[in-house]
Amino acid sequence: MEAKMLAPAAVLVLWPLIVLLWMTVTRFGAFSKAGIDIAKVPPGGRGNSLEGVLPDKVNWKAHNFTHLMEQPTIFYPAVIILAMGAPKPVDVAMAWAYVAIRVVHSLWQSMVNRLQVRVMLFAASTIFLVALAVRAVTVTLFAA
């Protein structure tokens, strides 16, 4: 098993937890400004019920947290498959590129959130993810 290949995945495991903390602190700070007493919120409330209640900039962190629970779930097994096989230095570099772009995407979406740039960042990270997935398939299909 190649630990170098797993390091980017480990960082991407930690990153959503940082975003979760950021989202929580931001939301709780916004509750009082919005006149929300969480002790009086009826049972069954969900985060998406805060849309239109809290400022968009506050909700952007929650949107990004959700995104970090989606596409990276494809990244993790691809990285594990490559780590179990014979990862090349380019595989490690592509994994780090994916993680770096996802972090930049998170920061952009959470603070600025201009769609044109967000789409470009998402597309760039997706290209690296596709390349990693193809490598994972080739490493397994053509294993000696």
Taking CA atoms, 58 is separated from 21, 51, 77, 109, in Å, by 13, 10, 31, 11
Percentage of residues in the chain with pLDDT exceeding 70? 91
User: In 3-state terms, what secondary structure has residue 51?
Assistant: strand
Task: Note the Cα 70 to chain centre separation in Å.
Answer: 7
The tokens of 130 are what?
A: 């596709």
For 67-95, the pLDDT digits (tens) are 999 999 999 999 999 999 989 999 999 99
- The domains found in the chain, sorted by start residue, are 3-141 (1.20.120.550)
The tokens of 2 are what?
A: 């190649």
Instruction: Kindly report the number of other CB atoms within 10 A of residue 8's CB atom.
Output: 23
Dihedrals phi, psi of 13, to nearest 5 degrees:
-75, -40
pLDDT of residue 49: 64
